[in-house]
Structure 1
Amino acid sequence: MKSESRLASETKLKELLKRYSGLTSRIHQGLLVALTMRGHINLDDILEKAQHAVAEGDPNRGLAKRWGSDERDAVHRLVRKYAAKHFNVDEIDTIVQSAVTTERIRTVEDLAKESRASFEMIHQKLREHARKRQEKIRNGETPEDEPMSVRVRLINRFVSDQLEYIGVARHSLGIMDLLPVMDRTIGPRNSMGRIGGKAAGIVLAQKVVNLYYENHPRPKGFEIGLPDTWFLRTDLFLDFIDQNNLAHANDLKYGPREEVREGYPMLLQVFKNGHFSTYIMGRLRSLLKEIGKHPLIVRSSSLLEDNFGSAFSGKYQSIYVANQGSLEHRLEELVGAIAEVYASTLHPDPIEYRDDRNLIDYDEQMGIMIQKVVGFRHGRYFLPAWSGVAFSRNEWRWTPRIKREDGLARIVLGLGTRAVDRVGNDYPRMVPLGMPDLRPEVSPQDIRRYSQHYADVIDLESNQFVSVPIQEILAIEHFPDMQRIVSILEDGMVQRPHTRIIDQDPAKMLITFDGLLQSAFPSVLRDILHALEKAYGWPMDVEFAFDGHKFHVLQCRPQGQRHASARVRIPEAIHESKPVFTACKYVSAGKIENIEYIVYIDPLDYEKIQNYEDLLRIGEIVSRLNHKLADKRFILIGPGRWGSDDITLGVRVRYGDINRTLALLEMARSRGDHTPEVSFGTHFFQDLMEANIQYLPLFPDERAVFFREAFFRESKSRLAELLPDAARFENVVRVLHVPAIAGGELLHLYMDGEEDRALAFLGPKTKD
């Protein structure tokens, strides 16, 4: 007579086989594996008994054969018999549910593998999987682990096809992490695309940070989150190109760079006046109804963006949308921004950038993130309390007390564009996260001079992105977090306010963030960066913003890195006639030997130019020299801030105008207003890092610095020989051929970052 437990197991198994009648083979397979793995039966014994039951057995047959229907039925009967004998009711239920889940996930994987499977098909199957998973959790059951192969296929199909990213993401992103992203994804109904590199970074960052705080205490009074985000897949970009007959435009990337640059404004207009399908317009209209009139940012997220070694920092467009007015007006504004981001795939800068990295033939496609701008309304403006960018490794250390691995942040009041872009005569707060109180400025006068004077905001009345004086923002009452943001300059002293209510003249307020830096913020940010670096196995950078209540991570990507090099020591035995210049401030490690050409633009000569068109022409000349000298070893020395948006403070250039130089030096004279802003952390600096271009600020009029003025101002310039039509600028843009000046010798630049010293000197050619 059978025991009660065995009868119960048989009954339970019959019930489950009836419930999952379409999965009987999968259930029997799961039970057979469990019986074998736990040592209850021997697989060969089962097969032998099954063959005997159907009167088969041929010793001359192969070691393995496909079962016939009779053999399969016999095996299944034996499996049920032994399962009821060896497993209790709960064990049978667990094994069967595992088999059912595995089959369900296998179906998702099969769909992900199927190239013709649409986004809607995969999304629906994932929803079904999530519903059944939640049912198990509600019933107190433990969901089974997801097969790694399923994760990889879904990440590849929907998120990113970059192998480095997949190798990181598969350890953190589960199937259930993708479903909320899919729920907020827009694209054509019958195709499949990816969300792109920038979106991939933020999705993974969210999961890594959440996993970190599952094992570490969350900071009190410091809530961390992500902005509300919606994703436009890359197949929508392809659909837009096809619908507007723009496929031919992709051939422009193979044309001469001058033609690409000249033709881009017309191409931009064509894109901005393109059309989206009725279905997509309906989805975007519904999205705007859901969001309301909250300001938005339309951010690029191309397939190549934010990847290891190719961050594309600032190469593609991100556009703020005020999102005010009627629904149809807001829709047109949003659609125009999306089209402009699409057009930026053919902007000359990313094309040049791709060409430099042998990525020009890659089928680049653009995804998009639509994010609510983090912030609040303050008077007529919309802005966050503060925002910025942070790096897990600090390449700018002005004192040995600062550790590279502690990281660095650039923080500004308002929108973070002033932290990542090279702007006019303005400065973010640079914060070494391990020693946040340290700053290179000491005197109150220097603290005032090197503080932020303008804020980037969205003007909700004019519907524009604008820069306004800090005093105008601070004059409006009740600015959030103000006590932690400002310090008061009074009677020659810079002091933090003592109360939350600050009754002071805004003209006396300086943006120092001293209060914020004495809070938990630096350590929290450092923890987040270290968690991301550990997950990626690579130094990371993040962009962030604070809305007065919550800290938001806006972007996450691998940090640009120069080629690793050992410490460079300055040669001591240099003849007194050989040095050309020295530097002793903000020096990073590096060595450039055998420099043949110097392109030199003195700040005093540059500031004499009053004609705006001539100032633009200087940038064009630098760009042409960049290509003319591409096969030579040359460096650029110029006034103030290369690439600044204020052309009076530095030569206006973009990445493709300076990407062939070995080093970029920024020069400040004691006379004039051209002051270098240490550019570490800007998109501009990230380009220099990735291209392995050395950066060095020069202060030739300081007492501790040597600068051989006559070498630069009295030596013959070769500009007219190289660019005859630019001869009238020869006194401003001086092209020095070093061997012709120095009797065949070349220039060598040694930079010792640990001692904060640099020396450029003449000498014979060194061995490669």
Structure 2
Amino acid sequence: MTERERVIERYFGWNPKDDPDFSPMILGDSSIGGKGRSLLFGIKVLKESGDPELSETTIPPAIFLGSDIFDWFVASIPNLDALRAGPSEELERAFLEHPLPQEVTDMVRSFLTDMTDPVVVRSSSIQEDSLKYSFAGKYLSDFLGNFGSLDYRTWAVCREIRRVYSRVYFPKAIAYRSRHGIGDDSMGIIVMRLSGHWRGDFFYPTIGGVGFSRNYRRWTNRVSMEDGVVRFVFGLGTMSTKREYARTCSLTNPFLRPEGQDPYTVLRHSQERFQAISRRLFEGSSDERPDTLATMNINDVWNDVFPWYREEMGQYAQLYRGDEGGGYFASPNMGPSADRSISRICFTFEEFPRRHRRFFERMKRTLSVLEEAMGVPADVEFSYEPKDGHLQLIQARPLWAGSGISSSTLDAIDPGKIILKADRMVTNGSFRHIPNLVYVDHRLYGSSDDFHEIARAVGTVNDRLKGERFIFVAPGRIGSSNPALGVPVQYNELSNCCCMVEVGIPKMGYMPELSYGTHFFSDLEVDGVLYMPVFEGYQDNLYRQSWFDESPYEVGPHKAIRIYRGCFSVYTSGERNTGVVMLE
């Protein structure tokens, strides 16, 4: 056994129940699941690192439920097999009506007695966070404002525990396990205080995000894979794991923007929407399950947010003013005007790298220590308060990365056969002789008012091509939660896809976003799906639209979808940061 193998074995063999610092937080005799165990392992490693700054890192107060509680719960539900075969809504209803063990209710009640801040109920399944499968976004995390009486708050958390349990048998998780040949799963639970502070009616951290000890998808050759990378947002870090806008920084060169320095381009790649727990939503709701997780545009709530930061806000946000010369950024202190085309606030984090260089150095050391302790590259979720330097670890786990195939054949390719070419964000890999290319016409998509219908039609094509691989080419961001930014296709609707190409059409507002670290990219890594962002009109990029318009194709279930039959190949080289799709 090699030293690396021994390190990995120690990592997976560690049991938090054997640690007196953690055992009081755990209920149950079995595993608390990969997510829970990895988090406690990560904070233990940082506390014992010998680095004074790293040892100051904390995790939010939390309790952990073992998977044996889940096993008992599902075994006691009548007619479970019939429920699993029926509609998901009926299965969830049965789970919500079935009682948890009294010891679970007692532990939740005890935890919430002095915990009146918002909480999150998180999945932590046995299969999650393995070296091979990520399960990112396949289960459920529920955010609760934790308002009301102790009885109500206890009832609400216990309700969401049962809801998370039900997701083990929902189609998304079943399809993922089936695709990878994984059997049934068992679920641990984390109930955790949400990171952040109350700022008026909203609860959120100043910064939330994800970090990686390796940068497998470089946007320029000026950064290396070993540098590591962070992707962060203002507010709850939930936005950093979606295909939304976020600031991405190399840990050794945080000033280098993936999108460049042009003000208008920076604006189009900068965050405006952020998430927080809203007291207003709870107070204005009569629902049994009020949704207190709010998604807000900073331009709409500027007067609620700015007073809590004032001069400090200049480190995070800027005011964009449009003009005939392309626009410029100014101090945000004045706030936006009514005309969004002339004046908009966005989170560029322009001053943040200069004022908080220690944050990036600290994240670099944090990820290096975790990688050494795990024996594999590390992936974390975190929250950070720049004012007092408080860093909280929310998740720590192995970073999945497909090994791919080195593409040494790029020099031998006939340039005349290339229909798509990228110069960033690619890993090593190749697929040859792919019989199908599925294409979403950006002109028809942009003029459509049925974005979700187009996305579901892509899923129909995917089902038709079962057993056949295809390349998927679409404008903007594939899988975006905002249909205006790209086709909102779900990942399980692309199960036969071997390569995704996002086409940037700047004049139409479709711009791929270098969202490495999202659940979307975790799935790509695990499944070995190649990815390329191609920017029309950019140097060293090629989008041969004439080929797409002049070559014969079959119209898909929606007129915006075309299916090309032929023989296509994909070659990508992470070392050279080049990828091509070509005709064989």
User: How far apart are the structure 2 equivalents of 1:458 and 1:249?
Assistant: 37
Q: Write the mapping of 1:81-480 to structure 2, written as runs, cut at 5 A.
A: 167-170=10-13, 178-187=19-28, 192-212=29-49, 214=50, 216-218=51-53, 223-245=56-78, 247-248=80-81, 252=85, 263-291=87-115, 293-360=116-183, 363-423=184-244, 427-440=245-258, 441-463=260-282, 464-476=292-304, 477-479=307-309
C-alpha displacement of 1:608? 2.1
The whole-number CA distance in structure 1 between the counterparts of 2:561 and 2:328 is: 43
Question: Which structure shows the bigger proportion of residues in strand conformation?
Answer: 2
- The whole-number CA distance in structure 1 between the counterparts of 2:186 and 2:105 is 20
Cα gap change, 1:516 to 1:223, in 2 (>3 Å): farther
8 Å contact from structure 1 (residues 244, 275) kept in 2: no
Tell me the secondary structure at the aligned position of residue 74 of structure 2.
helix
The one-letter code of the counterpart of 1:409 is V
- Report the more deviating stretch, 482-491 or 550-559: 482-491
Q: Deviations over 1:601-646 (max 9, x none)?
A: 1111112222x4xx33322232232233232231111121211122
Match of 2:382 among 532, 544, 565: 544
SS in structure 2 at match of 1:382: strand
What is the rounded CA distance, in whole Å, between the counterparts of 2:465 and 2:212 in structure 1? 33
| Structure 1 pair 286–168 and aligned structure 2 pair: CA distance change class (3 A) | closer
Which residue is equivalent to 1:574?
414
Preserved CA contact (<8 Å) 1:306 1:558:
yes
CA shift in 2, pair 1:272/1:165, >3 Å: farther
After superposition, the Cα gap between the structure-2 partners of 1:704 and 1:394, relative to the gap in structure 1 and judged at 3 Å, is closer
- Counterpart selection for 1:523 from 361, 375, 379: 361
User: Does the CA contact (< 8 Å) of 1:232 and 1:368 recur in 2?
Assistant: yes
Give the deviation of 1:748 after TM superposition.
1.9
Match of 2:287 in 1: none
Give the conservation status (yes or no) of the 8 Å contact 2:241–2:519: yes
2-structure distance, mates of 1:412, 1:670: 23
Letter in 2 for 1:394: N
Aligned-residue offset at 1:246:
5.4
> Residue 186 of structure 1 aligns to which amino acid in structure 2?
L
CA shift, 1:307, in A, is 1.1
Report what 1:669 is aligned to: 505
> Aligned partners of 2:409 and 2:488: how far apart in 1?
34
Give the TM-score normalised by the residue count of structure 1: 0.67
Q: Retained in 2: the 8 A contact 1:173–1:207?
A: no
Question: What's the secondary structure of 1:471's corresponding residue?
Answer: coil
Distance (whole Å) between structure 2 residues aligned to residue 587 and residue 174 of structure 1: 37
Corresponding letter in the other structure for 2:248: M
Query: Which residue is equivalent to 1:749?
Result: 570
- AA paired with 1:562? G
Kindly indicate whether the alpha-carbon contact (under 8 Å) linking 2:62 and 2:191 is maintained by their aligned counterparts in 1: yes
- Relative distance call for 1:608 and 1:513 in structure 2 (3 A) is closer
Deviation at 1:232, TM superposition (A): 1.4
Contact 2:7 2:375 in 1 (8 A): no
Alignment partner of 1:716 is 2:552: yes
Contact (CA 8 Å) 1:604, 1:669: kept in 2 or not?
A: no
CA distance in 2, matches of 1:704, 1:311: 33
> Could you tell me how far 1:217 is from its partner in structure 2?
4.2
Q: Once the 2 structures are TM-superposed, how far is the Cα of residue 573 of structure 1 from its aligned partner?
A: 5.6
- Aligned partner of 2:402: which letter? R
Residues 485 and 513 in structure 1, CA contact (< 8 A), matched pair in contact too: yes
The C-alpha deviation readout for 1:588-613, integer Å capped at 9, x for no partner, is 43322212100111111112222x4x
Q: CA deviation at 1:661?
A: 0.9
Q: What's the C-alpha RMSD, in Å, of the aligned pairs? A: 2.7
Aligned residues: 553
Q: Matched residue of 1:734: which SS?
A: strand
- Whole-Å Cα distance in 1 between the matches of residues 204 and 463 of structure 2? 41
Partners of 1:706 and 1:486 lie apart in 2 by 34
Instruction: Report what 1:732 is aligned to.
Output: 560
1:694 alignment partner, one of 520, 530, 535: 530
The answer as to 2:515 corresponding to 1:679 is yes
Q: Are 2:463 and 1:623 equivalent residues in the alignment? A: no
TM-aligned CA deviation for residue 689 of structure 1: 0.7
* Cα offset, 1:697, TM superposition: 1.4
Range with bigger deviation, 709-718 or 460-469: 709-718
2-side partners of 1:585 and 1:211: how far apart?
Answer: 38
Contact 1:316 1:345 in 2 (8 A): yes
CA distance in 2, matches of 1:648, 1:494: 24
| Cα offset, 1:452, TM superposition | 0.8
Opposite residue 383 of structure 1, the aligned amino acid is Y
Percent of pairs identical after alignment? Answer: 28
Candidates 596, 599, 602, aligned match of 2:441: 602
Match of 1:486 in 2: 317
- With CA pairs under 8 Å and 6+ residues apart, which has the higher RCO, 1 or 2? 2
CA distance in 2, matches of 1:505, 1:483: 11
Write the distance in 2 (CA, Å) between the matches of 1:393 and 1:680. Answer: 11
Q: Give structure 2 stretches of 5+ with no counterpart.
A: 1-5, 283-291, 337-342
* 1:512 correspondence with 2:343: no
| CA distance in structure 2 between the aligned counterparts of 1:686 and 1:207, rounded to whole angstroms | 25
Over 3 Å counting, the alpha-carbon distance change for 1:573 and 1:218 in structure 2 is closer
Render the CA deviation track for 1:244-288: whole Å, top value 9, x for unaligned: 325426864xxxxxx7xxx22332232223322444333322322
* Structure 1 residue 567, shift from structure 2 partner: 4.7
Which of structure 1's runs of 4+ aligned residues deviate more than 6 A?
172-175
Q: Distance in 1 between matches of 2:467 and 2:17?
A: 50
Flag the 1:352–1:175 CA change in 2: closer, same or farther, 3 A.
Answer: closer
Higher mean C-alpha displacement, 373-382 vs 512-521: 512-521
Aligned-residue offset at 1:582: 2.6
Distance 1:210 1:246, change over 3 A: farther
The separation in 2 between residues aligned to 1:321 and 1:304, in whole angstroms, is: 25
In the superposition, relative to structure 1, how do residues 596 and 287 fare at CA in structure 2: closer, same or farther (>3 Å)? same
1:40 corresponds to which residue? none
Distance in 2 (alpha carbons) for counterparts of 1:553 and 1:282: 27
Distance in 2 between residues matched to 1:387 and 1:174, nearest whole Å: 26
Q: Quote the Cα distance in structure 1 between the aligned partners of 2:25 and 2:413.
A: 65
Name whichever of 561-570 and 342-351 sits farther off: 561-570
Please say if residues 598 and 637 of structure 1, whose CA atoms lie closer than 8 Å, have aligned partners that are also in contact.
yes
In the TM superposition, what is the alpha-carbon distance from 1:312 to its structure 2 partner? 0.7
SS at match of 2:281: coil
Greater radius of gyration (CA): 1
Q: Which amino acid in 2 is paired with 1:479?
A: Y
2-side partners of 1:752 and 1:552: how far apart? 36
Contact 2:17-2:26 within 8 A present in 1 as well: no
Alignment check: 8 A CA contact 1:639 1:650 kept: yes
